[in-house]
Structure 1
Amino acid sequence: MGEGVKATLARPIQLADEVAKQCGAAKCFRSECAELKARADKIAALLRQAARADLYDRPAARIIAGAAQALAKASSLAARCASGHPRLRRFFTLSPAAGFPRTVTLLDTALEDVAWLLRISSPHPGADDDDGDGDGDLRGLPNIAQNEPILFLIWDHVARLHTGGLAARADSAANLASLARDSQHFAKLIIEEDGVPPLLRLLKEGTDEGQEAAARALGLLGCDAESVEKLVHAGVCSVFATALKEPPMRVQAAVADAIATLTDQSTTCQELFAQNNAVRYLVGHLASGTIQEHSRYSVGSSTSKNSAAASQPMTSLHSVVLAKTLSMRHGGDRDTSSTDDPPRMSNGSKADQDAKRNQMQSVVQSAMAAKTKTNGSLVQHFRPQLGTSGSSGRGAREVEDPETKAHLKAMAAKALWKLARNHLDVCKSITDSRALLCFAVLLEKGDGGMGTWVQHFSAMAIMEICRVAEHSLGLRQSAFKPSSPAAKAVVDQLLHIVSKGDFDDLLLPCITALGCLARTFTASETRMIAPLVVLLDEREPLVTKEAVVALTKFSCTENHLHVNHCKAIVDNGGARHLVQLVYLGDEVQIEALILLCYIALHVPESEGLAQAGVLAVLLWASKQAHMVQDMRVEVLLPDAKGRLELFQSRAGSCYHCQEEEDQCNQASRAQRRHLEAVAVVVTVVVAKDELQRGRSRSWHRSSEDAASGCVERRRRH
């Protein structure tokens, strides 16, 4: 109980004593005053008992304020009865008889509320019994919570978290988790009513069921950024990180799920969880049982010095890890002071350390010998004991069922996905460990059909890491260099999923990840273009858009191999698909046009662009108002159109299609023949007309001569 609550108890205790004293000296309505005195004495006794108890502060403040208000009204009524008015004055004053029933009701309500407060704030017999619930059902409904019963439920469960037994606390935590899941308003009420500290205490000290319920409840309480901030100030990050180190696995899975939920709501948690080594513990859970060599936190980023081991074919992801470990062991370049090594729980003697080192060397050598005998296929003969980086011992994991193990891996992958989002330091911490290789293995094999989302969460985690690496040269050079086995394994799995092209939860993040890694591939690495181009042909709009965006990252000017990638896109028939998308793709018109502009800028002399009619598409797009309004199109389109006109305008507008050119030539020849025939006809008609006109003139001339001769002869006669 806080000092503020103790200070508020002084006033109602004084009022209760004053009411009892005044009622004892009453000169009128003595029977009614006796009832007031009896209730005031009971309230005073309960208030003194509350002063010695450890009260639940939130309901205590409301209940004590209500009791003080009821006692103040009773004191005013008792003072009038104790003053002793004269007979004549009674006729001119209000009689207190009408106020007694209401005052008694108020005192009864305050009495019940104070009794309820003491009842929920005090341990009950059997509360410390772990085998049963000594508290029973809900311990009555206080009158103060009649208008809001949910508030009473929250008070009761939070009080049981303070005073109940382990079983009762686990049940209350589960009930609070259910309330928080139903409504964000209920979740905020739980935080406001100080429900977070007892949940954190239960997560540290409770039974397995109680810890799991507390972890789920704390994750559900982070319904928005404001709520997460309150949880962070309460110390939830350090408690979660500590819980990730200790079994059982179902508690660790619930904690990992809660970490993912809190990180998704607020970016403040990312740095705090990273400072508390949560990333290390999550990677430890992800690697356990996923890759064969997991005694160290890091796979090791140094380049192998053993060329013989490096030249052996890597037929599986497990062999990649073992070969890497063998090269590090035999190369003699292992740095014992490396920060990648996890802190050890205890320091044994030198003889014990040498024995462990020799045992590990013999294990690796035997595994490599088995690999050689089976022509490169690794046979798993052992399962080394887990280290101390966020993992429980081998015995604790052996007793867990496969479904729980798969669920823990899925939740660990989900938490790493959320933690890696737009956070460079977390991504470096993940890539410096063996997490990338674990993600590749989980993408390949899944969770064994246990009904979890481990493949989807692994793909999303890879996508977020690749998004950060796209804008970080250091991360690209350290995590996705071409010689890295983990990077090769990840790229192989991404290409495998994209090549299948099945529209599921894995396809979109894998396409995005490949696009973000566009600047990490070498000039000879062109196998990722063809699967992306195939996705442009009559696929789902989301898939087509992601494929176009990924190909744009390969062909943009910032990519130093943009010319090679643009040629590969055209050679695989991408120009024809992009022309159709610009004309008909409503949702991807702009993105397809931008990709076409990049290709036209970098390979304008390509015959494939001419055959696809890209210049006509760019000319058409330049007249579309909704396209040219985009800033990217406004910058790229004029230059792309100018480059195509420069390289592809030698044969006029009909150059782009040989069939159209032949048709135009045939039309020209037919038109010339038609004009020649028309000219001949016109010439014949004109000649005939001239001939007729000549004959007519000669006849008229002879007629005139004959007529003039007749006239002359008549004149003579």
Structure 2
Amino acid sequence: MMGKPNPNPEEEKSLREELLGPILLGERIIKLAQEAESSKVDCAELARKVQVVCDNLRSVVRVVSGSQCGVNERPIRRIVGEVSKNLERTVALVRKCKKHGGVLRQVFSMTSTGDFRKVWNLLESSSGDMEWLLSIFESKGSNVSLPPIASNDPILAWVWTFIYTLQLGQPKDRAEAATELGSLARDNDRTKFIILEEGGVLPLLKLLKEGSSPDAQVAASNALVNITTNQDRVVAFLVDSHAVPTLVQVLGDSPMRVRVSVANLVSAMAEQCVVAREEFVRANVTRPLVSLLSMDTVLADPMAGRASLHSLVLNLSNAGDATSDGSSRGSSHHRRDREREVESPELRYHVKVCCAKALWKLSKGCLLTFKKITETKGLLCLAKIIESETGELQLNCLMAVMEIAAVAESNADLRRAAFKRTAPAPKAVLDQLLRVVKEETNPALQIPAIKAIGSLARNFSGKDPQVLAPLVAQLGNRDVDVASEAAIALGKFVCQENYNYGDHSKAIVEELDGIPKLMSLLQINHRQQVHGLKLLCFLAINVGNSKVLEQERVLGTLERLARPVQSQHPELKDLFAKAIHHLTLYQPGAQLHRQPLGL
């Protein structure tokens, strides 16, 4: 069955058994009609219509039995179920036309012309449904008419038709059907659910896997992207259906435009489901993604006796053309080389953009992705792209690094092991993050770089002004979001969970002139003002005896802003109180002039 798996398959009748029931019921109706004592003409008409329905049912049995590839059973079962109900109504009516004993029983068994008309219309609908089904099989899905069963919901008929075309049609027709399903699914969650329930997901996956034509693969993959968007059930179904290894295989050995669509599908699935992320990583999806991301990297800046970042990434790209067991893909490798010769630079760039996005989505909160990327040369590849590229590709790589760093933040052992400052990959990544923070002016690029540095705050020694200086400088950024992210990141350097919080605090206050910039940020009445206040509290607690804090009137600022902020953030009450207390200890006369804060 191509539809959604039945949780109790042993309880579900086979399709042939389900078709046999209404056939036997139809024969019984015909026999009863022949034995009718009243309304004989009407019963004979019903019998002829029932015979047509039974003949169509037998034709469906032959199609199902003769199909070598299997057909979607869901529409057949739906239609046969409706046919069975209508035949039940018919048999009940025909029974009333048999001879009954007693006047009273005859009165209760009387029929009217209206009764026959209703049943006749029901049989007409059943006949129309069966004829539509047979026409679909005969035309291999190209019939676009509407069966009576779907008259109130034409989407259902269209979905059925396109699914049958996927299974029975010619390659071109199958590609068109996939495109149509994708169009139906776009921005319509109900249609996505219908496609899943009616068995449309697996035929799309099969079309993608077969590789009959790149057009069909792209159409199938794009359709699956549309169907999976905001649909956790579809993603879970694909994972349970072992789709992940198929997608990884297609991603690793297909024309470039197919890889674009498959990388987008990986992103869509990974974005919604952590289980999908883990399954993709177990299937080694990072190998083709990183390999594609690093293609076209040329050997530059040769260094005597040392491998440059360029050469390391180039070696990674060449290694990516091997299978997971290290063997060469032979003719497949040469075929891809020939394909690359005729691909446009725009397509190759687009492939990298989509692969970088997939790595970004796979990295979010996934420890397995973190290990896979940091234990290989994936970080070097990301660093090189951030250094050499611009636009969406650079942004996606920055977002991937940001998510990798976020995972590192929650695991001290892995963070220390994977982001050693002396190792080439972490150093390359950090250099690029700092460069982006200092040199870029686009907040969309600066913010993920700042977040990544903040996540790694506990990896830096207490004497590391070259890391703190760019963050402190961004406290004065005109973009409030950038300035607020800088405050959040610096807060991770100076909070007491950071072993070097004292040294970091002194550097910010005494060496980097951070307090004036922070005070300017606090003058902006903004919803993110709380982040600047938290940073100021940490600094007041850690270096409350600094003359800079007194000169910048930090105590007055905290007293003025703490009350309105804590009304929205009561969890900060103790932090505000502690900071104000520290400042009053070190500032002469503060106790005499300050008003009770009522914290």
> TM range, normalised to the smaller chain?
0.7 to 0.9
2:14 aligned residue: 4
Q: Which sections of structure 2, spanning at least 5 residues, go unmatched?
A: 2-11, 65-70, 317-321, 594-599
Provide the C-alpha distance between the structure 2 equivalents of 1:236 and 1:617, rounded to a whole number of angstroms: 58
Shift of 1:204: 0.9
Kindly provide the CA deviation profile for residues 345-401 of structure 1, in whole angstroms up to 9, marking residues without a partner as x. Answer: 3599xxxxxxxxxxxxxxxxxxxxxxxxxxxxxxxxxxxxx997xx97422322222
Q: Does the alignment pair 1:113 with 2:129?
A: yes
Rg larger for: 1
Q: Does the alignment pair 1:610 with 2:553?
A: no
Shift of 1:639: 4.0
Taking a change above 3 Å as real, the CA distance of residues 184 and 90 of structure 1, as seen in their structure-2 partners, is closer
1:57 aligned residue: 73
Equivalent positions of 1:136-151 (< 5 A) are: 136=142, 138-151=143-156
Q: Does the alignment pair 1:212 with 2:218?
A: yes
Q: Does the alignment pair 1:318 with 2:324?
A: no
In angstroms, what is the RMSD of aligned CA positions? 3.4
Shift of 1:285: 1.6
Provide the C-alpha distance between the structure 2 equivalents of 1:309 and 1:522, rounded to a whole number of angstroms: 30
Taking a change above 3 Å as real, the CA distance of residues 193 and 93 of structure 1, as seen in their structure-2 partners, is closer
Taking a change above 3 Å as real, the CA distance of residues 93 and 48 of structure 1, as seen in their structure-2 partners, is closer
Please state whether the residue corresponding to 1:108 is helix, strand or coil: helix
Q: Is the 8 A contact 1:247 1:392 kept in 2?
A: no
Question: Does 154-163 or 70-79 show the bigger shift?
Answer: 70-79
Shift of 1:83: 3.3
Provide the C-alpha distance between the structure 2 equivalents of 1:243 and 1:589, rounded to a whole number of angstroms: 48
2:287 aligned residue: 280
1:229 aligned residue: 236
Shift of 1:88: 12
Please state whether the residue corresponding to 1:229 is helix, strand or coil: helix
Provide the C-alpha distance between the structure 2 equivalents of 1:58 and 1:652, rounded to a whole number of angstroms: 79
Equivalent positions of 1:294-443 (< 5 A) are: 309=305, 317-318=309-310, 342-345=324-327, 393-443=336-386
Taking a change above 3 Å as real, the CA distance of residues 481 and 101 of structure 1, as seen in their structure-2 partners, is same
Shift of 1:80: 4.2
Runs of 4+ residues deviating >6 angstroms:
84-93, 650-654
2:67 aligned residue: none
Provide the C-alpha distance between the structure 2 equivalents of 1:150 and 1:6, rounded to a whole number of angstroms: 27
Shift of 1:568: 2.7
Q: Is the 8 A contact 2:522 2:532 kept in 1?
A: yes
Shift of 1:238: 2.1
The amino acid that maps onto 2:42 is: E
Q: Does the alignment pair 1:14 with 2:10?
A: no
Equivalent positions of 1:241-640 (< 5 A) are: 241-290=248-297, 292=299, 309=305, 317-318=309-310, 342-345=324-327, 393-446=336-389, 453-537=392-476, 539-570=478-509, 571-621=511-561, 624=563, 626-627=565-566, 630=569, 633-640=572-579
The amino acid that maps onto 2:557 is: V
Taking a change above 3 Å as real, the CA distance of residues 470 and 11 of structure 1, as seen in their structure-2 partners, is closer
1:334 aligned residue: none
Equivalent positions of 1:107-186 (< 5 A) are: 107-120=123-136, 122=137, 124=139, 135-136=141-142, 138-186=143-191
The amino acid that maps onto 1:47 is: L
Q: What is the TM-score with the length of structure 1 in the denominator?
A: 0.72
Shift of 1:3: 4.1
How many residue pairs match? The answer is: 568
Q: Is the 8 A contact 1:219 1:258 kept in 2?
A: yes
2:117 aligned residue: 101
Q: Is the 8 A contact 1:80 1:96 kept in 2?
A: no
Please state whether the residue corresponding to 2:588 is helix, strand or coil: coil
Provide the C-alpha distance between the structure 1 equivalents of 2:120 and 2:558, rounded to a whole number of angstroms: 88
Q: Does the alignment pair 1:191 with 2:196?
A: yes
Shift of 1:247: 1.0
Provide the C-alpha distance between the structure 1 equivalents of 2:83 and 2:367, rounded to a whole number of angstroms: 56
Question: Does 496-505 or 212-221 show the bigger shift?
Answer: 496-505
Kindly provide the CA deviation profile for residues 624-643 of structure 1, in whole angstroms up to 9, marking residues without a partner as x. Answer: 26438846644444443344
Shift of 1:501: 5.0
Provide the C-alpha distance between the structure 1 equivalents of 2:100 and 2:582, rounded to a whole number of angstroms: 110
Provide the C-alpha distance between the structure 1 equivalents of 2:294 and 2:348, rounded to a whole number of angstroms: 11
Taking a change above 3 Å as real, the CA distance of residues 582 and 139 of structure 1, as seen in their structure-2 partners, is closer
Please state whether the residue corresponding to 2:348 is helix, strand or coil: helix
Kindly provide the CA deviation profile for residues 514-533 of structure 1, in whole angstroms up to 9, marking residues without a partner as x. Answer: 21122223455312323222
Provide the C-alpha distance between the structure 1 equivalents of 2:450 and 2:328, rounded to a whole number of angstroms: 45
Q: Is the 8 A contact 1:241 1:278 kept in 2?
A: yes
Provide the C-alpha distance between the structure 1 equivalents of 2:425 and 2:107, rounded to a whole number of angstroms: 99
Kindly provide the CA deviation profile for residues 75-127 of structure 1, in whole angstroms up to 9, marking residues without a partner as x. Answer: 3444444539999998896354443333322222111111222232x354xx6
Q: Which sections of structure 1, spanning at least 5 residues, go unmatched?
A: 128-134, 294-306, 326-339, 349-385, 655-717
The amino acid that maps onto 2:221 is: A
Provide the C-alpha distance between the structure 1 equivalents of 2:105 and 2:548, rounded to a whole number of angstroms: 113
